[in-house]
């Protein structure tokens, strides 16, 4: 019998049942540490952001596990003015899943204080940056619609996600500077997703896709207002066909409204694909319009040091060796960075004003959150004809 058939590594260590199996959480007739899919791209990852509503600083961070690749990693992105700093951490994942109960990559860890409501995010000093932050969700999490993308007969993405808006408290340290984080000013959004998503090293492509990838239009806007939260996610093909449409409003008393098929109008900075503001018109169950005017205060290209699609410096799930860390700093005005920005998704500090049902102030309710937008390649409804138009 081979080592694999015996459920052991070559040195004899058992890698099947682990600490997660003590809990009645099984979904398949196998240990929880074994992914339900043999797809190498299976992942389980969280994303979190924080800002103080000024647009002076935007912190984005996340951590992922890739059980079929045997890896785990974390990253921190910090945008201040024209400088963007990235810290990357990577390591091997525990094949028995123990580190998924104690979520840690080197000096970085996430503690679940109260499931679906409170977290603690810690990164002990790494290359001059340290974090000790406490998250409190302001409203219940929102379970989004499943997200599926196919190219030809192949499934390239099949994921589930939940999202939440909330506040932060704690401390950020950057090169000796201490930044106090207080919940009266610091807000943010977070999500956790899992499933199939391109991860790790690239594979031989096989037969070229026919038709090839012509681009996509993406909008993700979770917003926190005083009395409700709105979570919107939309994806469209180059022709404007909507392949993902999900928009809900959650109230403090637990009520959840579906907000229909939002109409979106994005205003881009002249000669670019950079959004400055968007008008989003939603429809409440009673048929009344809820209008969200969203503007960008500061943008972070998450494919510049964040590991998301198109990042040439860092990719989620790639094996970098045991205890890997690095720090990269980007001049956002440098031509080598500016040339990369249009070819990925950008996360903006979003300021929003809501008008319509559920908004008591006649001048509108002010909210804050994430204004995440990417327009890759052609998108007819927006007037972009190819990958390089208006860049």
**Per-residue DSSP letter, 378:** -
Mean pLDDT of 363-373: 97
Q: Quick check: 7 pLDDT over 60? A: no
- C-alpha 345/C-alpha 199 separation (Å) is 17
- Nearest 5°: CA angle at 217, between 213 and 222? 140
Res 51: pLDDT: 98
Would you call the peptide bond into 211 cis, given omega within 30 degrees of 0 as the criterion?
A: yes
Q: Quick check: 4 pLDDT over 70? A: no
Residue 187 lies in a domain: yes
Res 11: pLDDT: 43
- How does residue 6 score in pLDDT terms, banded at 50, 70 and 90? very low
Residue 275 lies in a domain: yes
Residue 13 lies in a domain: no
Residue 75 lies in a domain: yes
Res 5: pLDDT: 39
- C-alpha 271/C-alpha 377 separation (Å) is 15
Residue 234 lies in a domain: yes
Q: Quick check: 309 pLDDT over 50? A: yes
**183, two tokens:** 């919940």
Higher-pLDDT residue of 327, 204 = 327
Q: Are 70 and 92 in contact (CB under 8 A)?
A: yes
**Per-residue DSSP letter, 138:** S
Residue 57 lies in a domain: yes
Q: What 3-state DSSP class applies to 336?
A: helix
CATH number of the domain to which 80 belongs: 2.40.370.10
Q: Quick check: 327 pLDDT over 80? A: yes
Percent of the chain surpassing pLDDT 70: 96
Higher-pLDDT residue of 229, 24 = 229
- C-alpha 305/C-alpha 358 separation (Å) is 39
- C-alpha 183/C-alpha 266 separation (Å) is 30
Q: What 3-state DSSP class applies to 154?
A: strand
- C-alpha 375/C-alpha 384 separation (Å) is 9
Q: Quick check: 78 pLDDT over 70? A: yes
Mean pLDDT of 33-62: 96
**Per-residue DSSP letter, 18:** -
Mean pLDDT of 218-246: 97
- Whether the CA torsion 314, 315, 317, 318 is positive or negative: it is negative
- C-alpha 204/C-alpha 318 separation (Å) is 16
Residue 153 lies in a domain: yes
- How does residue 391 score in pLDDT terms, banded at 50, 70 and 90? low
Mean pLDDT of 123-148: 97
Residue by residue, DSSP assigns 125-182 as EETTEEEEEEEEESS--EEPPPEEEEETTEEEEEEEEEEEEEEEEEEEEETTEEEEE-
- How does residue 13 score in pLDDT terms, banded at 50, 70 and 90? low
Res 214: pLDDT: 86
- pLDDT tens-place string over residues 275-284: 999 999 999 9
Number of separate domains in the chain: 1
- Whether the CA torsion 337, 339, 345, 346 is positive or negative: it is positive
Q: Quick check: 365 pLDDT over 80? A: yes
Higher-pLDDT residue of 338, 2 = 338
pTM for the full model?
0.93
Q: Are 107 and 125 in contact (CB under 8 A)?
A: yes
Q: Are 299 and 354 in contact (CB under 8 A)?
A: no
Q: What 3-state DSSP class applies to 347?
A: strand
Residue 207 lies in a domain: no
- How does residue 178 score in pLDDT terms, banded at 50, 70 and 90? very high
**Per-residue DSSP letter, 269:** P
Domain containing 237 equals 35-200+213-382
**355, two tokens:** 């008008």
């Amino acid at each position: 019998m081979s080592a694999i058939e015996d459920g052991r590594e070559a040195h004899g260590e058992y890698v099947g049942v682990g600490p997660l199996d003590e809990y009645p959480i099984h979904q398949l007739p196998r240990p929880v540490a074994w992914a339900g899919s043999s797809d190498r791209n299976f992942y389980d990852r969280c994303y979190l952001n924080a800002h103080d509503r000024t647009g002076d600083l935007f912190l984005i961070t996340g951590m992922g596990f890739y059980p079929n690749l045997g890896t785990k990693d974390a990253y921190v992105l910090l945008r201040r003015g024209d400088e963007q700093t990235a810290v990357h951490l990577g390591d091997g994942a525990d094949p028995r899943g123990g580190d998924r109960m104690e979520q840690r990559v080197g000096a970085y860890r996430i503690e679940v204080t109260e499931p679906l409501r409170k977290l603690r995010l810690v990164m002990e000093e790494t290359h001059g940056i340290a974090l000790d932050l406490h998250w409190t969700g302001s409203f219940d999490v929102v379970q989004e619609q499943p997200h599926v993308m196919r190219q030809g007969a192949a499934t390239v993405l099949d994921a589930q996600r939940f999202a939440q808006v909330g506040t932060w408290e704690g401390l950020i340290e950057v090169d000796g500077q201490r930044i106090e984080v207080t919940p009266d000013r610091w807000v943010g959004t977070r999500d956790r997703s899992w499933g199939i998503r391109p991860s790790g090293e690239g594979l031989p492509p096989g037969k070229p896709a026919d038709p090839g990838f012509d681009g996509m239009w993406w909008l993700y806007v979770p917003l926190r207002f005083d009395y409700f939260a709105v979570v919107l996610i939309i994806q469209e093909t180059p022709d404007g066909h909507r392949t993902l449409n999900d928009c809900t409003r959650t109230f403090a008393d637990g009520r959840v409204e579906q907000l229909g098929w939002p109409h979106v109008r994005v205003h881009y900075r002249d000669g670019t694909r950079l959004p400055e503001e968007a008008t989003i018109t939603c429809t409440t169950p009673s048929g009344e319009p809820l209008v969200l005017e969203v503007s960008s205060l500061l943008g972070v290209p998450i494919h510049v040091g964040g590991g998301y699609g198109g990042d040439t410096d860092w990719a989620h799930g790639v094996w970098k060796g045991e205890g890997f860390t690095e720090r990269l700093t980007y001049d956002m005005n440098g031509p080598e960075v500016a040339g990369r920005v249009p070819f990925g998704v950008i996360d903006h500090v979003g300021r929003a004003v809501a008008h319509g049902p559920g908004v008591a102030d006649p001048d509108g309710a002010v909210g804050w959150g994430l204004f995440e937008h990417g327009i890759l390649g052609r998108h007819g409804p927006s007037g972009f004809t190819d990958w390089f138009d208006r860049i």
